[in-house]
Amino acid sequence: MAYIDPRTNKKGEIISYRIRVNRGYDEKGNRLKPFVMTWVPDKGMSKKQIEKEVQRQALLFEERCNSGEQTVNNKMKLKDFIPQYLETVEVRASPTTLHFYKRVINTHIIPFFGNKKMQDIKPHHIQNFIKYLTELTPEHGSPTNDTDKLSPSTVRRYLTILQSIFKTAHKLEIISTNPAKAEKLTIPRVVNPKIEIFTKAEAAEMLNCLTSEDLQFQTYVQLAIITGARRGEMAALKFSDFDYAGCRLTISRAAIKVSGQPIQIKPPKDYEVRTVTVNEHCIELVKMLQAEHERERQRLGSKWEGDEWLFTQWNGEIMNPQTPTKQFDKFLKKHGLKHRKLHSLRHTSATLLLYGGINIRQVQQRLGHSELETTQKYLHYLSEADVEAVNVLTNMLEPKKDKVIDITA
């Protein structure tokens, strides 16, 4: 028997139907995953037409499943598979990632492939999509600083979404082969950007300039460089996360902001809840900030809407995680400091720890990296710096050759 579940959007409007056919149990008595398909009504269909057609689609799907023909859905169009695909992505993707996926799908993938059936899409169609992306102008995408076309890394990001769509369809046995496998395609080569960090001297100068800034910004930057926490993790800190006596901080959540939506709280990236040690100066700043918040709470009375957030808006509400990015840029310009992205504070924290001889696994745990490979990217920077260091020492210590005097002159 086929089961039909309507899927609605945020307005409560039905946008698609999920049709399931049970597969029973395996030899060990475990329930097998059901066969699933998604059907999207055509625009202009009446309520009666939709009810009749979805019943027909369910019956046909059940017949295919019972006859063993469910492995390939020859009639499913790519646009009709998207709602089912997004259901699988929602389980593991953050709201910001999901928002990005939907934007790329609606802006580029669906318009490019139109009403093409998934089973008819071949590697050369995917290759044409790559060509289309490489030729996009700034009107349609995000250009790099030195060209009016999408960067290879952006092209790859867009392509990864399309590859994920086909991989999921193949896994669900909606298509017989995956035309978007990397080995079947020629993909633009991406040169990994060099990690931006503050040198020890630059970091010291920057921290010295902080003393003239407001207390909240001082605390933010000091904690960012000491803990190496991500921007979203920093925004979601609460005073209760600190152990003042032990000079320790537990990072257990992150704040995210999707355009047009309120700030949301989620677990940290890779679910890496961790506790890190901070210095006494940071603890003193946090205590001072807590006292400042208490004074503001008393002054504003019922207008204060705080919830122990460390970094807030004027009324105690959690700060937009994107705000410090703009503040940091203005701060560097104000003091004539070399421009660095806010995320470079995290890179700087990791690199200085490795410079100081801290074990790479300790650095991995402190930064909340789920994979050691992610932390190892900083080692390459250290090796480059080591080559530069020996060149400096050579120039300083190598004996200067005596100047030759021409006595015949």
Domain that holds residue 253: 200-391
Residue range 336-352: average pLDDT?
90
Pair (247, 177) in one structural domain: no
> Sign of torsion, CA 156 158 164 165?
negative
Enumerate residues 6+ apart whose C-beta is below 8 A from 59. Answer: 2
Q: Using one digit for the tens of pLDDT, what is the confidence trace for 353-380?
A: 887 778 888 888 888 877 777 677 777 6
Note whether 258 and 99 are within 8 A (CB).
yes
Number of structural domains, the chain?
Answer: 3
Q: Using one digit for the tens of pLDDT, what is the confidence trace for 293-317?
A: 999 999 999 999 878 999 999 999 9
> Strand pairing partners for 38?
18
Pair (239, 175) in one structural domain: no
Pair (78, 65) in one structural domain: no
Whole-number pLDDT of residue 398: 65
Cα–Cα distance, 41 to 49 (Å, whole number) = 9
Q: Which of 28, 44, 70 is the last residue of a domain?
A: 70
> Sign of torsion, CA 61 63 68 69?
negative
Q: Is residue 172 one of the residues assigned to a domain? A: yes
Q: Is residue 404 one of the residues assigned to a domain? A: no
Pair (179, 258) in one structural domain: no
| Measured CA distances, 61 to 4, 25, 249, 384 (Å) | 11, 20, 54, 59
Closest CA to 319 of 199, 222, 217, 248: 217
Pair (372, 238) in one structural domain: yes
Pair (50, 79) in one structural domain: no
pLDDT above 80 for 401: no
Report field, pTM of the whole predicted structure over 0.85: no
Let me know the angle formed at the C-alpha of 174 by 173 and 179, rounded to the nearest 5 degrees.
95
Instruction: Work out the percent of the chain whose per-residue pLDDT is above 70.
Output: 86
Q: Is residue 84 one of the residues assigned to a domain? A: yes
pLDDT-wise least confident of 63-72, 74-83, 171-180, 199-208: 63-72
Q: Using one digit for the tens of pLDDT, what is the confidence trace for 177-191?
A: 899 999 999 998 877
**Which strand (E) or helix (H) includes residue 189?**
none
DSSP state letters, 304-361: ----SBSSB-TTSPBPPTTHHHHHHHHHHHHTTPPP--TTHHHHHHHHHHHHTT--HH
Q: Which of 127, 158, 191 is the last residue of a domain?
A: 191
Residue range 314-323: average pLDDT?
94
Pair (218, 187) in one structural domain: no
Length of the chain: 409
Pair (233, 363) in one structural domain: yes
Pair (366, 217) in one structural domain: yes
The CATH number of whichever domain residue 76 belongs to comes to: 1.10.150.130
The CATH number of whichever domain residue 276 belongs to comes to: 1.10.443.10
Pair (166, 227) in one structural domain: no
Residue range 153-176: average pLDDT?
89
Whole-number pLDDT of residue 145: 42
Side by side, the strands of the sheet bearing 2-8 are 2-8, 14-21, 35-39
Q: Which of 55, 70, 85 is the last residue of a domain?
A: 70
Cα–Cα distance, 316 to 314 (Å, whole number) = 6
Let me know the angle formed at the C-alpha of 84 by 81 and 90, rounded to the nearest 5 degrees.
135
Where do we find the tokens 């991995």? 364
Q: What confidence tier does 21 reach under pLDDT thresholds 50, 70, 90?
A: confident
Pair (132, 245) in one structural domain: no
Q: Using one digit for the tens of pLDDT, what is the confidence trace for 276-297?
A: 999 999 999 999 999 999 999 9
Q: Provide the mean pLDDT of the chain.
A: 84
Question: Which range is most confident: 21-35, 191-205, 337-351?
Answer: 337-351
Let me know the angle formed at the C-alpha of 110 by 107 and 114, rounded to the nearest 5 degrees.
130
